[in-house]
Amino acid sequence: METLKGKCYGCGAELQFVDESIPGFVPEKLLDKPGVICKRCHRIKHYNEVIRVTLEEEKFVDILRQISTQSAVVIYVMDSFDFEGSWITQLKKLIKDQPIYVVVNKIDILPKDINQQRIRLWIKHELEKKKLPVQAIFLASAYKQWGIDEIATYVRNNKGKRDVYVVGATNVGKSTLINRLIPLLVAEDGIEASTKLFDLPELTTSVYPGTTVEALKIPLSRKSAIYDTPGIVKKDRLIEQICPSCLNIVTPSKKIDPRIFQLNDQQTLFFGGLARIDYVKGNKQSFVCYVSNDLVVHRTKLEKADELYEKHYLELLSPPCKECESDLALTKEYEFDIPANHETDLVISGLGWLTIKGEAALVKIRVPQSAQVVKRKALI
């Protein structure tokens, strides 16, 4: 029988009792107990606290290289709220021959009355632009268990005896998805999910990026396994830079309510203190903001924006907070000249986006130096 002996059942880290500051720490007396989880996973599961760990990007690239040499299928999990931020550039180069199934997760947080067929076509178009060949695209909510049966049925019918690798950026919901899929996939070959043939862990899940720290192998049958891989750290996403308290504010936990602002030019919107949007030139029109319902969006005149930022940064304009504000000053500027009658999203990676459609507009966006802003065809 294949087990996970020697590894944390929550995050996959090698268990050790020497250093509490690195992944996998457990008290020595617990080291050989079956099903043990490390101190970090215990704090996440029971106290909603996180002990941050840092893994080198080369390690993630090495995992992708290993996958490329295996007989495997790849489930690539992306985030519907942060599609650009969950794009892995290395995937197209390193995963060449294995079938790729794209799961766009967290579909439940998109606003009400969205057209799912439009979303699916939009995703297909974006992946074609990026020249990533995929065999199937699924819209899902691992948290709400939407679309899980469809994914499991497709994987069972198409993977054969190959292993399944689940990859994605941090915080896209890979471990939650695997926890939903395991009971459905383990029933292959006539093995019921309730049997004791395998020790099936429940993977540690949380809002915090980087919960899984090692590739974690979970047997599905005597012939195949599913692997939960660490999330690729995308350093241009704001969620990688802020503290856990601020992360809870900017990460949507329920369906987004779009906020519509009728702006004249020479007006400014602040997304907390993490982004500033200046409407420099154009006729009066709607700016539709798609961000977490808990994030304050503040409007002011452009001429007063500098003064407001200086006086109220970390207070009215927060997040960030004093714990995480280092290196998050709004020092990087993007400028977008948007033509009339184009449905356009301006996306701040990890924070959300705003949609402009109608009048021509000149817009400037200021973000921290580490953040990325991109223009795309409107998602909604």
- What values do phi and psi take at 129, rounded to 5? -60, -35
Does 302 lie in the same domain as 191? no
In this prediction, residue 1 carries a pLDDT of: 24
- Give 266-289 pLDDT, tens digit per residue: 999 999 999 999 999 999 999 999
What CATH number has the domain bearing residue 134?
Answer: 3.40.50.300
List Cβ neighbours of 66 (8 Å cut-off, separation of 6 or more). none
Inter-residue contact 373 to 367 (CB < 8 Å): yes
Q: Is pLDDT above 60 for 2?
A: no
Pairing of strands 344-348, 72-79: unpaired
Does 328 lie in the same domain as 188? no
- For the chain, the average pLDDT equals 85
In this prediction, residue 267 carries a pLDDT of: 98
Instruction: Report the percent of the chain where pLDDT is more than 90.
Output: 55
Assign 5 a pLDDT band (cuts: 50, 70, 90): low
Task: Classify residue 19: in a domain, yes or no.
Answer: no
In this prediction, residue 188 carries a pLDDT of: 52
Does 228 lie in the same domain as 281? no
Instruction: Compute the distance between CA of residue 379 and CA of residue 129 in angstroms, rounded to an integer.
Output: 15
Task: Classify residue 270: in a domain, yes or no.
Answer: yes
In this prediction, residue 49 carries a pLDDT of: 57
Instruction: Report the percent of the chain where pLDDT is more than 70.
Output: 86
Q: Is pLDDT above 70 for 211?
A: no
- Bridge partners of 282? 361
Q: Is pLDDT above 60 for 361?
A: yes
- What values do phi and psi take at 368, rounded to 5? -60, 160
More confident residue, 41 or 310: 310
For residues 229-247, give the mean pLDDT.
Answer: 86
Assign 96 a pLDDT band (cuts: 50, 70, 90): confident
- Looking at 187, 204, 234, the residue that finishes a domain is 234
Q: Is pLDDT above 90 for 372?
A: yes
Domains: count for the chain? 2
Q: Is pLDDT above 60 for 192?
A: no
For residues 128-154, give the mean pLDDT.
Answer: 95
Instruction: Compute the distance between CA of residue 338 and CA of residue 142 in angstroms, rounded to an integer.
Output: 36
More confident residue, 9 or 130: 130
Does 196 lie in the same domain as 309? no
Cβ neighbour number for residue 161 with a 10 Å cutoff: 9
In this prediction, residue 39 carries a pLDDT of: 80
DSSP state letters, 188-246: GGG--TTSSSS-PPPPP--SSTT---S-EEEE-SSS-EEEEPPPBP-TTSGGGTS-HHH
- Looking at 207, 234, 261, the residue that finishes a domain is 234
Task: Classify residue 44: in a domain, yes or no.
Answer: no
Task: Classify residue 166: in a domain, yes or no.
Answer: yes
Assign 145 a pLDDT band (cuts: 50, 70, 90): very high
Does 174 lie in the same domain as 290? no
- Looking at 182, 207, 234, the residue that finishes a domain is 234
Task: Classify residue 365: in a domain, yes or no.
Answer: yes
Does 221 lie in the same domain as 257? no
* Pairs from 300-304 (Cβ < 8 Å, separation ≥ 24): 300/267, 300/268, 300/270, 301/266, 301/267, 301/268, 302/266, 302/267, 302/268, 302/278, 303/266, 304/268
Does 188 lie in the same domain as 77? yes
Q: Is pLDDT above 70 for 308?
A: yes
Assign 48 a pLDDT band (cuts: 50, 70, 90): low
Does 343 lie in the same domain as 269? yes
In this prediction, residue 187 carries a pLDDT of: 59
Task: Classify residue 246: in a domain, yes or no.
Answer: no
Q: Is pLDDT above 90 for 344?
A: yes
Instruction: Compute the distance between CA of residue 164 and CA of residue 126 in angstroms, rounded to an integer.
Output: 24
Does 74 lie in the same domain as 211? yes
- For residue 73, give the nearest of 159, 187, 138 by alpha carbon: 159
Inter-residue contact 272 to 371 (CB < 8 Å): no
pTM: 0.82
Does 154 lie in the same domain as 273? no
Task: Classify residue 327: in a domain, yes or no.
Answer: yes
Task: Classify residue 182: in a domain, yes or no.
Answer: yes
Does 84 lie in the same domain as 229? yes
The domain in which residue 84 lies consists of 55-234
DSSP state letters, 125-161: HHHHHTT---SEEEE-BTTTTBSHHHHHHHHHHH-TT
In this prediction, residue 148 carries a pLDDT of: 96
| Region of poorest pLDDT, from 10-24, 61-75, 205-219 | 205-219
For the chain, first and last CA: distance in Å? 48
Does 323 lie in the same domain as 185? no
Assign 214 a pLDDT band (cuts: 50, 70, 90): low
Q: Is pLDDT above 80 for 52?
A: no
The DSSP secondary-structure symbol of 111 reads P
Task: Classify residue 301 by burial, with Cβ atoms within 10 Å: 0-12, 13-18, 19+.
Answer: exposed
Q: Residue by residue, what is the 3-state secondary structure of 49-109?
A: CCCCCCCCHHHHHHHHHHHHCCCEEEEEEEECCCCHHHCCHHHHHHCCCCCEEEEEECHHH
